[in-house]
Amino acid sequence: MPTYIYQTIPENSQQEPHRFEVSQRMTDSPLTHDPDSGDPVRRVVTGGSGIKLKGLKRSTMVDKSSPAATACGCATGRPHRH
């Protein structure tokens, strides 16, 4: 189950928000109130780990003799006629 971060929504600007974590199913509705204090809360969106992939892998094979290799079928080397 993923862990979500929530933050209380202070009633006035002098109060500091309180952050806490909750493990929930992805299908569960987000919390609206802090289970301990009853204060209203919002879910905090945090950055994730980005994955950067570089182009096609060498194991990827393209059958250039197939008309589906390109939209016009020109990978076959035969001229395209309308």
Task: List the chain domain ranges.
Answer: 3-44
Q: Closest by alpha carbon to 5, among 58, 43, 49, 59?
A: 43
Task: Work out the angle at residue 31's Cα, subtended by the Cα atoms of residues 28 and 35, and round it to the nearest 5 degrees.
Answer: 120
Q: pLDDT for 40-74, tens place per residue?
A: 999 998 876 666 666 655 555 666 666 666 655 55
Mean pLDDT along residues 6-25: 94
Q: CB 21: neighbour CB atoms within 10 A? A: 10
pTM: 0.55
Residue 9 is predicted with a pLDDT of 96
